[in-house]
Amino acid sequence: MKVPPEVKRGWEARFPSLDGKWTHWKITGTGNFIALIDGMDLIGALEVVEENYGKYITIKASRATVNENGELAEEEKALFEICNLEHDEKIRVPDDKPDT
């Protein structure tokens, strides 16, 4: 789905900062796991959100880390909403209407 620029504006700033032990973003769509993205790959994280836009009502990210055994730990108390279809529909720029 092609996402209008006015909808994508601000997605980057909505991703939580990663510091301390947090090295990844866990991205979920309406509570369903979508992807685990390395914190050095913000572009990749934004692409995942765009690829999944419209498939879920809301897409959220949380801070996560992966230990040496490949086990995932995440900051469960802090979910950051990256996009929300209901809100996004309100900010879409309406198509120009033909003159009548």
Range of the domain at 45: 5-91
Number of separate helices (H) and strands (E) present in the chain: 4, 5
Whether 98 is in a domain gets the answer no
Whether 70 is in a domain gets the answer yes
Whether 12 is in a domain gets the answer yes
CA 40 to each of CA 16, 32, 67: distance values in angstroms, whole numbers, following the listed order: 13, 23, 16
Whether 100 is in a domain gets the answer no
Cα separation, 68 vs 81, whole angstroms: 28
Per the structure, how many domains does the chain have?
Answer: 1
Cα separation, 70 vs 68, whole angstroms: 5
Q: Give the per-residue pLDDT at 55.
A: 95
Whether 82 is in a domain gets the answer yes
* Maximal C-alpha separation, the chain: 66
Q: What is the pTM of this model?
A: 0.85
Whether 99 is in a domain gets the answer no
Residue by residue, pLDDT tens for the chain (100 residues) are 688 888 898 899 999 999 999 999 999 999 999 999 999 999 999 999 999 999 999 999 999 999 999 899 999 789 999 999 888 877 665 554 455 5
Q: Given the DSSP bridges, would you call strands 32-38 and 24-29 parallel, antiparallel or unpaired?
A: antiparallel
